[in-house]
Amino acid sequence: GNPVALATLMRKHGRDLVAAGRLFVETGAKGGGTLGDAVLDRRARDAALEALRSGTARTVVLDDETELLVEPVLAKPRLVIVGGGHVGLAIAKLATQLDYEVAVVDDRPEFANRERFAGVNEVVNMDMAKALETMPIGWNTFIVIATRGHKLDATCLRAAVKTQARYVGLLGSKRKTILIAQMLRSEGVSDERIRAVHAPIGLDLGGRTPAEIALSVMSELSLERYGGTGRPLRLSDELFERTVSRRQ
């Protein structure tokens, strides 16, 4: 199902509540329940939608000391890998370890089979663009396109941008990205939708092997999934000088 966020009224006007009101919000602002006040419900829904986007729980304190606990209840993210080649295989292995529900699509039976992709949730052996048109693809779905050629990439990307996927990425060079983007634009796909595609996919980690490319791709998906920055976590020079060097 769709991801849901639950908003619980913990304090009202600074007073703890014994029987807290609750409401839930689905992706697309659908939901139910009430906190007993239309204005408060609206504020809670806004906070719940933000929690769905960030994937993290938080406490929201309003101006009148009313306190809400907002918690996302997220389904396992779904990753659709379009293309069962060496890179697709490496991505599938890593994505499974990262707790994605993984589906692999390829029109070649020698590349789309259970022997090759033993650990994934679904293997689809059919026309790849048609598969994207028929598979269940919702807000919590990530699509990675890694087929065997430019034309096939373009065909699959054309289908992917019409879905409700949270993330669409295309493997390849900047030159290929530009050519395909120009093609889609000439067909009437909006600049906004084209720019929403992550292409070329991945973070610049410098690797070239299928496993290293998979790490680059899944790192970018993790940024999208958890809202990270991608910056190194090491101590800054300023913090090091202030906390470590001064003690010597």
- Report yes or no on 19 lying in a domain: yes
Q: Are 39 and 155 contained in the same domain?
A: no
Instruction: Give one DSSP letter per residue of 122-153, joined into a string.
Output: EEEES-HHHHHHHS---TTEEEEE--SSHHHH
pLDDT value, residue 1: 58
- 109/115 Cα distance (integer angstroms): 11
- 142/160 Cα distance (integer angstroms): 10
CATH number at residue 200: 3.40.50.720
> Does an H or E element contain 80, and which?
strand 78-82
Contacts 24+ apart (CB under 8 A), 34-43: 35/7, 35/9, 35/68, 36/9, 40/9, 40/66, 43/68
Q: Are 138 and 22 contained in the same domain?
A: no
Determine contact, residues 146/92, Cβ cutoff 8 Å.
Answer: no
Residue with tokens 């419900």: 41
Task: Quote the number of domains for the chain.
Answer: 2
Its pTM stands at 0.76
Q: Are 169 and 46 contained in the same domain?
A: no
Query: One digit per residue, pLDDT tens: the chain, 248 residues?
Result: 567 888 888 877 756 654 567 778 876 556 778 787 788 888 888 888 888 777 678 888 887 778 888 888 777 899 999 999 999 999 999 999 999 999 999 999 999 999 999 999 999 999 999 999 999 898 889 999 999 999 999 999 999 999 989 999 999 999 999 999 999 999 999 999 999 999 999 999 999 999 999 999 999 999 998 888 899 999 999 998 889 987 65
Q: Are 98 and 219 contained in the same domain?
A: yes
Q: Are 49 and 125 contained in the same domain?
A: no
Q: Are 116 and 210 contained in the same domain?
A: yes
- 8/22 Cα distance (integer angstroms): 5
Q: Supply the range of the domain harboring residue 214.
A: 78-226
